[in-house]
Amino acid sequence: MNELLDAALGYAARGIPVYPVHWPHPTPDGATLGCSCRHGRGCDRAAKHPLVRHGVNDATTQAGQLERWWRRWPHANIGLATGICFDALDLDGPAGLAALLKLARAAGLRLRGPLVATGGGGWHHWYAPTGLGNRPPRGMTHVDWRGIGGCVLAPPSRHISGQRYRWLRDLDRTPLPEVPAALRALLDPDPPTTTVPARTAGPYAPGHPYGRRVLAAELATLGRATPGHRNHTLNRCAFKVYRYVAGSLLDDQEVTLAFTTTALAIGLDPTEVARTLASARTAGQANPRTVPAGPGPKPEEAGS
Ligand SMILES: [Zn+2]
């Protein structure tokens, strides 16, 4: 047994059809990763395309078949068929996250279901199946819906970057929610007109205890920022926190999620938020920090 097969069998036991997908493979010089297919580093769907002829149409819940596949390809990534047991909202990086959270804020959506951080820096929100096919929600960019006929990669698959897909909120911690009406309206062919109250989605709290205190302090500072100072405050606070991400105290995608949520809640523009966070992240990455030496570290020490 290996952890990929274990996970594949776990998804199948829930009724989710599974199929094997190419994986990141060290290049002959050992220095980088390429696709496990014959194209290697030249593959344009590296570690994302199926190992079986009919792709998602070959997906199965039969344990014996999964065991044969992962015995033949022990490192195979895990592809799941969407549209049967679950659908997925696919957010392509911070711009996709910002687009979703803007809708969430305007429509009072609660984003509380299972959530995957993809190895490529995006997110998959899992929902109960809708009966819809693959399509982007109307008016949203960097966002896609995976439904009938679609597929997603699932934890613990590895992205070509070497990063694993992982659960931020796993299937056992939370039930699959129905797709919220405001989002459904953007997916249906003929949208009903709905009016919904504005509400704020709450941020998430990840990481090492010290890192979490720094994050909470900086999010609070951002939350108090006044018009005219909000983008600058976002940049300053996010830079401080991304330094602890670089120091491995906090999770990159969880921090981006928390800052994006708070920044949109205080009225910043999604595009501006994505741009500012990208800049703060680059600067923070270049200046890693970890838990300060000495007794009794205070979050204010890092947060002022
Ligand atoms: Zn390939």
> What interhelical angle do 3-13 and 63-72 show, nearest 10?
160
- Report CA(9)–ligand 1 centroid distance (Å): 24
Q: 198 pLDDT exceeds 80?
A: no
Task: With beta carbons less than 8 A apart as the criterion, state whether 84 and 17 touch.
Answer: yes
pLDDT at 285 over 50: yes
For 205-224, write each residue's pLDDT tens digit: 457 888 888 998 999 999 88
pLDDT-based confidence at residue 2 (cuts at 50, 70, 90): very high
Least confident of 14-23, 141-150, 189-198: 189-198
Whether the Cβ atoms of residue 23 and residue 77 lie closer than 8 Å to each other: yes
Residue 191 has pLDDT above 60, yes or no: no
Instruction: Take residue 206 and report the two structure tokens written for it.
Output: 């990840």
Q: How far apart are CA 178 and CA 172, in angstroms?
A: 16
Q: pTM, whole model, 2 decimals?
A: 0.73
pLDDT averaged over every residue in the chain: 87
User: pLDDT, tens digit, for every residue of 144-183?
Assistant: 999 999 999 999 999 999 999 999 999 987 779 999 888 9
Q: Which of 253, 234, 208 is nearest to 91 (CA)?
A: 253
User: How many angstroms is it from 215 CA to the middle of ligand 1?
Assistant: 39
Predicted confidence band of residue 75 (pLDDT cuts 50, 70, 90): very high
pLDDT score, position 190:
56
Distance, in Å, from the CA atom of 132 to the CA atom of 122, rounded to the nearest integer, reads 22
24 Cα: distance to centroid of ligand 1 (angstroms): 9
123-127: strand order across its sheet: 143-146, 87-91, 123-127, 115-117, 166-169
pLDDT at 218: 94
CA 44 / ligand 1 centre spacing (Å) = 7
The mean pLDDT value for 122-126 works out to 96
d(CA 231, CA 127): 33
Q: Which residues pair with 26 in a beta bridge?
A: 33
Confidence of residue 268 (pLDDT cuts 50, 70, 90): confident
pLDDT of residue 233 exceeding 90, the answer is yes
| Cα distance between residue 56 and residue 217, in whole Å | 45
Give the angle 86-103-112 at the CA atoms, nearest 5°. 45
Determine if the peptide bond prior to 156 is cis (ω within 30°).
yes
Using the mean position of ligand 1's atoms as its centre, give its distance from the Cα of residue 232 in Å.
Answer: 42
Query: How remote is the CA of residue 129 from the centroid of ligand 1, in Å?
Result: 29
* Pairing label, strands 77-81, 143-146: unpaired
Tell me what pLDDT residue 266 has: 85
